[in-house]
């Protein structure tokens, strides 16, 4: 058996060990850090511009509910005040036939503006609106300027759940 003095010393030493290693003080990022791929440049930001939106994205988190987007490829033209073009996307749907969960059509997206906020609207090939999503945040690559992550919230739902789409490739 251990003596009480030896056991007490062990507990004090263990307490000091556990107490060490608190949060390190954060050193301010050097000026121009946003030009590098750093943690500071990987933060999500308001969608004030949708430049660099075109590309392929896959859903990251949380998993898709029924009839929600799991992946999308956006092609088209980026203007200063909007992005528009065509899309191919996959939705979460039980499919008895291969490819029945794939949809194509046109889209348009607006950056953050006072009237409606940032939004992306998907239309079918006949021009009828399929659905729309609010764009709440974006993440950009400091190297390419392209959007690498986008947080969407499906419009028209009673209890919408934000989800993240991550760019595939650059």
pLDDT, one tens digit for every residue, the chain (170 residues): 445 455 444 444 434 434 444 443 343 443 433 443 444 445 777 888 899 999 999 998 888 887 889 999 999 999 988 999 999 999 988 877 777 889 999 999 999 877 778 999 999 999 999 999 999 999 998 888 899 999 999 988 888 889 999 999 86
Determine the pLDDT at residue 117: 86
pTM over 0.75: no
In a 3-state reduction of DSSP, which class is residue 23? coil
Determine the pLDDT at residue 126: 93
Encode 103-168 in three state secondary structure: EEEEEEEECCCCCCCCEEEEECCCCCEEEEEEEEEEEECCCCCCEEEEEEEECCCCCCCCEEEEEC
Cα–Cα distance list, 28 to 22, 32, 52 (Å): 18, 12, 28
How many CB atoms within 10 Å of residue 10?
11
How many residues are recorded in the chain? 170
Determine the pLDDT at residue 33: 37
- The Cα–Cα gap between 47 and 13 comes to 51
How many CB atoms within 10 Å of residue 139?
17
Determine the pLDDT at residue 128: 93
Determine the pLDDT at residue 42: 56
Nearest CA to 72 out of 47, 96, 93, 102 is that of 102
């Amino acid at each position: 058996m251990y003596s009480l003095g030896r056991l007490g010393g062990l507990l004090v030493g263990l307490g000091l060990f556990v107490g060490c290693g608190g949060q390190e003080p954060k050193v301010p990022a050097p000026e121009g850090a946003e030009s590098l791929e750093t943690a500071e440049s990987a933060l999500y930001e308001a969608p004030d511009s949708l430049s660099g939106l075109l590309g392929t994205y896959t859903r990251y988190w949380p998993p898709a509910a029924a009839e929600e987007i799991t992946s999308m490829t956006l092609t088209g033209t980026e203007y200063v005040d909007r992005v528009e073009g065509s899309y191919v996307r996959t939705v979460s749907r039980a499919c008895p036939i291969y490819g029945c969960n794939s949809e194509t059509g046109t889209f348009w997206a607006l950056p953050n503006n006072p009237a409606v906020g940032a939004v992306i609207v998907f239309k079918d090939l006949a021009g009828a609106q399929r659905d729309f999503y609010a764009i709440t945040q974006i993440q950009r690559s400091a190297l390419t300027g392209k959007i690498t992550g986008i947080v969407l919230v499906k419009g028209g739902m009673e209890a919408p759940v934000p989800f993240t789409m991550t760019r595939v490739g650059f």
